Every structure is written in structure tokens, then in C-alpha cells.
Amino acid sequence: MNRVLVWVPLAVFAVLVGFFFRGLDLNPGEQPSALIGKPVPEFLATDLYTGRSLSNKDLPNEAFLLNVWASWCITCQVEHPYLTELSQTLPIVGLNYKDTIPASTNWLAKLGDPYQMQISDPDGRLGLDLGVAGAPETFVVDAQGIIRLKIQGEINDRVYERDIQPILEEFTP
């Protein structure tokens, strides 16, 4: 009996090491979205450039990325070239989050605008309904308008291949 008991501390230690090891590459600030499996929330907003009113009906009828960005967001600038490249094959809708029209349109004029549409959300109202905690955040929306994934932080080819591509393949008929 005692011979077995001697191993208990080691076993407990091993389990703890397992948990801590898993914890090493978990980011507790990154939470799965509460909107996974739900449609994009109903919204009424304006187009950043024209001021024309926009609603859910204006969203693409195919799978797309909804990218939450702002001109004050450094990481948005970092991921911008990759998004530009990605926009050749996948529609990207911009949600200009808590930004001003001059600052954001200047930013786009300087760096280029790969977005299919720019929703202006100056007070973060739509952002709140989407559970956005900061920028950049990117939602993967399928052809039926259902949110399938949320990425917090930079989009690059690693994130695309690891997280976004499998989801797109899974939910594309």
C-alpha cells in the first residue's frame, strides 16, 4: 500500500506540470466570442465615406471577414498589408471602431483601402453589440451571415492558415 502512496506526490506534480505547460501558451485576455454560431447583430450605421446608411442587408452574401480597426491602432497598421493581400480572394468588411472620419479616411488614403465596405462606428455602439474589447479584432462570417470565429489581435498568414482557413472550409458548402 505504502509503495503505491509514495508515487502520489509525483503524480500530483506531473498533473500540475501538465496544467502549467498548457497555460504557457494560453492568453487569458483572449476569450472565445459569445457570438459564435449567432448572426451578425442587427445594426444601423453609416458608410465611412459617403454617410449612406448601412444595415445587415448590405453585408456580402458570401463568407467574409469583418475586421474591427481604427487609425489609432498600431497593430491594425501591422496587419494591413496582409489584409490587403487577403482581400484579393476573400471580401473584407471594415468596422471603423471609435475613430474619427478625417483620421480614418487619411489613414486609408495613405495605406490603401482593401475593404469592400467601411462601416463607421464612432462611438463603438456596434462594437459593443459584437463584444469587441479593442482593435484589431476580426470576425469570420459565413455565407449565411453567421459568426463562426473571432480573432483578437493581428491577422497574418500563420493565423490565417491555422485558424481562419479551416473554419472557412468547414462552413463553405
Partner 1 sequence: MKWLPALAMLLVTFTADAAIETYQFDSGSQEARFRTLTLELRCPKCQNQAIGDSDAEISQDLRAEVYRMLKTGATNNEIKDFMVDRYGRYVLYNPPLDRQTLVLWFGPLIFLLIGAVGLAVRIRRSKQAMDHRNTSA
**List of residues 6+ apart from 48 with CB closer than 8 A:** 94, 96, 101, 104, 105, 118, 119, 120
Confirm if 98 and 45 have CB atoms less than 8 A apart.
no
Amino acid in position 39: P
Distance CA 27, CA 31 (A): 8
31 versus 106: smaller Cβ distance to partner 1: 31
How is residue 124 annotated by DSSP?
S
Between residue 38 and residue 77, which ones bind partner 1 under the rule CB under 8 A? Answer: none
Instruction: Give the one residue of 33, 104, 120, 138 binding partner 1; rule: CB under 8 A.
Output: 33
Run of H or E residues at 83: helix 74-86
Paired residues of 141 in beta bridges: 64, 147
Is residue 145 within the footprint of partner 1 (CB under 8 A)? no
Q: Residue 151: in which H helix or E strand, if any?
A: strand 147-152
The piece of 42-50, 88-96, 109-117, 130-138 that touches partner 1 (CB under 8 A) is 130-138
Minimum distance from residue 150 beta carbon to partner 1 (Å): 10
Choose the binding region for partner 1 from 31-39, 58-66, 85-93, 100-108 (rule: CB under 8 A).
31-39
Give the nearer residue to partner 1 in terms of CB position, either 60 or 153.
153
Interface with partner 1 (CB under 8 A), residue total 15
Among 60, 134, 145, 153, binds partner 1 (CB under 8 A): 134
Per CB under 8 A, the list member of 43, 77, 98, 122 interacting with partner 1 is 98
Q: Rounded to whole angstroms, how far apart are CA atoms 66 and 40?
A: 10
Determine the Cα angle at 85 with ends 160 and 59, to 5°.
80
Instruction: From 29-37, 44-52, 78-86, 102-110, give the range in contact with partner 1 by CB under 8 A.
Output: 29-37
Q: Which residues of the shown chain bind partner 1 in the complex (CB under 8 A)? A: 28-29, 31-35, 98, 124, 128-131, 133-134
